[in-house]
Structure 1
Amino acid sequence: MTMPAQTVDTGTDQLLCEIADRVATITLNRPDARNALSDDLTPALRRMIKECGSSDDVGALLITGTGTAFCAGGDVKGMGGRSSKPEMTQDEKVNQLKVRQRTLTGALKAVRKPTIAALPGPAAGAGLSIALACDIRFASQSAFISTGYARVGLSGDYGIAWLLTQVVGTAKARELLFSAAKVGSEECLRLGLVNQLFPDDILMSESRAFCKSLANGPAITLQNMKDNLDDALDLDFLTCLDSEAERLVKTAQTEDHKEAVRAFIEKRTPNFKGR
């Protein structure tokens, strides 16, 4: 049964959020600026990632952008301009950025629920980092990506080097960062930068349907799967084997596992409760 959508107050019209069928759809809403990050949008995005990531009413997060872009990254027009705020020291700037990174892509990567990015168009710079910090990426046929940083004389932030390297390997990550080349949707699919491509007009319906299926799945199992997958990035095989054993035994004790077994025997769809 489809439940009516719940609109969440993000504190700004530059970011929209609604929850329906246990899916939190978070939409960057600056279409005139290709959904570039801003002093209003970015703090709101941080809050929504934190709130939706910890809410019992949310089983999966879907992040997308209004119009024909996902996120152009930082607002280049605002870079290098004069600010009325007191000038910070170098250390203060570094510490500020560290906090901002950890509470955005760092927090998104740490969410123990499925996270999906739906790219209706370009994802560039920090926008690409946000997409890569999600578990899965779907894209429209007209979407493309670009690291973008080299074009504006910046080295990269929000985890772009680590995230890219994990997805495409070190050689390709270096090429994409150094060149800031535009990579079309078909090439993104070939490289594994996106998981699936859809015609522009059905991207969101397909993305929402996929998110709904995950959001109503066995939450504890999915959380432990994410832990296993994260371990696989950093730990040796035998350590991962041991951790998998611990987590499988733990998930075998859940009500969702018992429900899944009953549903299999009774040839019906399981009704998971997240416990």
Structure 2
Amino acid sequence: MSFEHILYSVDSGVALLSLNRPKALNSFNEAMHLEVQQALKSALKDKQVRALVLTAEGRGFCAGQDLSDRNVDPSAASPDLSISIERFYNPLIKQLQAFPMPVICAVNGVAAGAGANIPLACDLVIAARSAKFIQAFCKIGLIPDSGGTWFLPRLIGMARAKELALLGEPLMAEKALEWGMIYKVVDDEDLREEAMSLARRLATQPTKGLSFVKRALNQSFDHDFNTQLEVERDLQRMAGQTQDYREGVKAFMEKRTPEFKGE
């Protein structure tokens, strides 16, 4: 596939999707949204793909929405921002969180607005040491979208979530790690390889089972204890019917390294 605003490739079971509008700090316009949608659909259909890495080109991860892609002329009718959220951002966040394989986000440089919240929908976030997360919405009279009001209180607590959302000040990568918002911080020059290495490792694992792990953890926020025990029961039944479970047990009994197929 040929894209104008993203880069997409598959190697060793890993799909690499990189935002590629560096001159605009990889801010989203409609064209880039459509290309990301297409790439994610391709990854889902490709049986070779067993892990996904989301990252970006240039000096920043993503500055959120490209405001030049919207009509904000004071003399014109007020834009309905819910349209782009419903058409693009919400489907993207839902797809990343429910993606049936591990999703790693490698954050290089500035992640602002929607660009600060899209990584939070991924499973493991690795940030360059220079990266910073900015809930910039309050600077233009908006609220955090792209799941920001859901992810932030759950990851870092309500007090810190309100600090970021109301003040809009940058949260540096090291502090984001300390707060439990992201998984890991690495030197800038090591970011891409660190993310790819982790993805290649995950791609060799029982990825069908890992998708059940994701489902169980994501659903836990909406369930009481007894209901979550039932979720665990049902998903464990499904996991126990996979070929990877059979291979894992067989390899354990034979004292050898398992060869998982993601099935």
Q: TM-score, normalised by structure 1?
A: 0.88
- After superposition, what is the alpha-carbon deviation per residue over 1:47-88, rounded to whole angstroms, capped at 9, x for unaligned? 222332343221111100102211111124555555xxx979
- After superposition, what is the alpha-carbon deviation per residue over 1:14-55, rounded to whole angstroms, capped at 9, x for unaligned? 111001111111000111121111222121112222332343
**What secondary structure is seen at the aligned counterpart in 2 of 1:103?**
helix
The 10-residue stretch of structure 1 (206-215 or 244-253) with the greater mean CA deviation from structure 2: 244-253
Partner of 1:51: 42
* 1:2-81 equivalence runs, <5 A: 8-9=1-2, 12-81=3-72
Q: Report the Cα distance in structure 2 between the residues aligned to 1:151 and 1:78, rounded to whole angstroms.
A: 18
Work out the percentage of aligned pairs sharing the same amino acid: 32
Counterpart of 1:216, as a letter, is: T
C-alpha contact 1:138 1:195 (8 A) present in aligned 2: yes
* 1:165-180 equivalence runs, <5 A: 165-180=153-168
**Deviation of the 1:198 alpha carbon:** 0.8
C-alpha contact 1:256 1:274 (8 A) present in aligned 2: yes
From 207, 212, 227, the equivalent of 1:224 is: 212
Question: Is residue 203 of structure 2 the alignment partner of residue 203 of structure 1?
Answer: no
**What secondary structure is seen at the aligned counterpart in 2 of 1:226?**
helix
Structure 2 gap segments, 5+ residues each: none
Q: Report the Cα distance in structure 1 between the residues aligned to 2:103 and 2:44, rounded to whole angstroms.
A: 9
**Deviation of the 1:200 alpha carbon:** 1.0
**What secondary structure is seen at the aligned counterpart in 2 of 1:171?**
helix
**What secondary structure is seen at the aligned counterpart in 2 of 1:156?**
coil
Q: Report the Cα distance in structure 1 between the residues aligned to 2:162 and 2:45, rounded to whole angstroms.
A: 35
Partner of 1:254: 242
**Deviation of the 1:115 alpha carbon:** 0.9
Q: TM-score, normalised by structure 2?
A: 0.92
Partner of 2:171: 183
Counterpart of 1:153, as a letter, is: G
Q: Report the Cα distance in structure 2 between the residues aligned to 1:211 and 1:21, rounded to whole angstroms.
A: 9
Q: Report the Cα distance in structure 1 between the residues aligned to 2:177 and 2:26, rounded to whole angstroms.
A: 23
Partner of 2:130: 142
**Deviation of the 1:152 alpha carbon:** 2.0
C-alpha contact 1:125 1:148 (8 A) present in aligned 2: yes
Partner of 1:5: none
Q: Report the Cα distance in structure 1 between the residues aligned to 2:85 and 2:195, rounded to whole angstroms.
A: 31
C-alpha contact 1:50 1:107 (8 A) present in aligned 2: no
Going from structure 1 to structure 2, the CA distance change for 1:89 and 1:123 (only over 3 Å counts) comes to closer
What do you get for the CA RMSD once the two structures are aligned? 2.1
Partner of 2:141: 153
C-alpha contact 2:71 2:79 (8 A) present in aligned 1: no
Going from structure 1 to structure 2, the CA distance change for 1:176 and 1:53 (only over 3 Å counts) comes to farther
Structure 1 gap segments, 5+ residues each: 1-7
The 10-residue stretch of structure 1 (36-45 or 124-133) with the greater mean CA deviation from structure 2: 36-45
Counterpart of 1:24, as a letter, is: A
Q: Report the Cα distance in structure 1 between the residues aligned to 2:79 and 2:105, rounded to whole angstroms.
A: 35
C-alpha contact 1:23 1:58 (8 A) present in aligned 2: yes
